[in-house]
Structure 1
């Protein structure tokens, strides 16, 4: 079971739709279950730093199969720090990404950056709901 490019583009379109509804300019990343980037878009006017946050949060969400915000309270735990270091310090354990499941199987994650933590997560959820 995989996440296709067409799936990823639907997720991104849903996240952009939500961002436009709330008046936010976002960076949206979709990765596969292994945390590898599958698709990315940066809305006009979105801050460039959000591109790193969206991808890092998506990677963390895919790695642990849960919303990246669930990891925030444990972000300084030696195990989580070690995992992040071992993979190259690209994971972000902040709120804004949600995993993508198909028939109970983790197939990827969507991460968003550019708004508040809650806005990021709301946009990611809206995108995933398009599947």
Structure 2
């Protein structure tokens, strides 16, 4: 059995470079308005880094946390803040999932959807989980989502 050439690949939408750049810029602007210093990352739908900005003075360890929040949101398709509820009803999942590499189970990561398509994730780290998510939402709003 062999596959027809058109069966070898499927079309996939991902965030554009222009949209990713606009989102990180707007996110940093929101952080400045809130008086916090952040790192912000945007990934494509596969979790690959598409854009990143670090504000001077933002926590160094927050670089990887922001990237991993975007990766987690893109790979699961829901906000990282939703993990608390998702893990609450399953003790084994609650013990295991937070220890998986690159999985972040606290707020600040949002999926990026265009219509029904999951095209990426945005992750922010440097403020409280609530501030991080507020900044991430500003990034999404800047690109019309």
* Global fold match (TM > 0.5): yes
Q: In the TM superposition, what is the alpha-carbon distance from 1:77 to its structure 2 partner? A: 5.3
Give the TM-score of the pair, scaled to structure 1: 0.89
Q: In the TM superposition, what is the alpha-carbon distance from 1:64 to its structure 2 partner? A: 1.2
Task: Write the distance in 1 (CA, Å) between the matches of 2:142 and 2:46.
Answer: 21
2:90 counterpart of 1:42: no
Q: In the TM superposition, what is the alpha-carbon distance from 1:79 to its structure 2 partner? A: 4.6
Q: In the TM superposition, what is the alpha-carbon distance from 1:111 to its structure 2 partner? A: 0.2
Structure scoring higher RCO (CA < 8 A, sep ≥ 6) equals 1
**Structural RMSD (CA):** 1.9
Unaligned runs of 5+ in 2: 1-12
Unaligned runs of 5+ in 1: none
Q: Matched residue pairs, number? A: 128
| 1:40-74 alpha-carbon deviations (Å, 9 max, x no partner) | 11101101011111111111111111111101341
Give the TM-score of the pair, scaled to structure 2: 0.81
| 1:82-104 alpha-carbon deviations (Å, 9 max, x no partner) | 6963xxx0121110011111122
Question: What residue number does 1:9 align with?
Answer: 21
Matches within 5 A, 1:84-103: 85=100, 89-103=101-115
2:34 counterpart of 1:22: yes
Question: What residue number does 1:125 align with?
Answer: 137
Q: In the TM superposition, what is the alpha-carbon distance from 1:122 to its structure 2 partner? A: 0.4
Is the 2:79–2:110 contact (alpha carbons within 8 Å) kept by the matching residues of 1?
A: yes
Task: Write the distance in 2 (CA, Å) between the matches of 1:13 and 1:93.
Answer: 25
Computing the radius of gyration from Cα coordinates, the structure with the larger value is: 2
* Secondary structure at the counterpart of residue 124 of structure 2: strand
